[in-house]
Amino acid sequence: MRWGLLLLFSALICAGCFGDDGGHVTEERGKPSTQALELKPPVISERFTKLPCPAKPLTTIELVGCAEQRILRSDKAINSETRVIFARLGTRAAKNRFVSGERAWLAYRRAVCLSRADVYEGGSLAKLVFANCVAAENLTHLRDLRRFERNLRPK
């Protein structure tokens, strides 16, 4: 179990190292790619199929659907806030650090929520615990981003 978590966390970290890196220079035949030179704000996009959320959820799948709806709403708010912050950061180095920090937070969010869901591994509650954890982590992160954005406002 511990090795599995360690491997998962390592894979998540490495996935950020080899994917679209938000502007770090990569070389192809000795020349930086133009895509790598373009630095963009980080964007969260979930990989699940959105489930419906009824007015009065009763089943586990309905509760998961409602948690997913909360995740998608908070993802949208986080994406909006990160665009504002990114635009206010003055240097390319600051923007790179911000993008790296957001990627690290996303890897942390996934790892910690998977760990919390491990208590119910193999059961129907695992997905619900994971989704509720992600929704809660998103709200905490959104508060942090809003505080950061207030500190970046021109005085």
- Dist CA 76 CA 138 (whole Å): 10
Could you give all domains of the chain from N- to C-terminal order, each with its CATH number? 42-152 (1.20.1270.180)
Q: How confident is the model at residue 11 (pLDDT cuts 50, 70, 90)?
A: very low
- How much is the pTM? 0.74
* Chain center to CA of 33: 26
Could you report the per-residue pLDDT of 108-151, keeping only the tens digit for each? 999 999 999 999 999 999 999 999 999 999 999 999 999 999 99
CA distances, 90 to each of 19, 39, 87, 151 (Å): 25, 13, 8, 13
Element (H, E) at 25: none
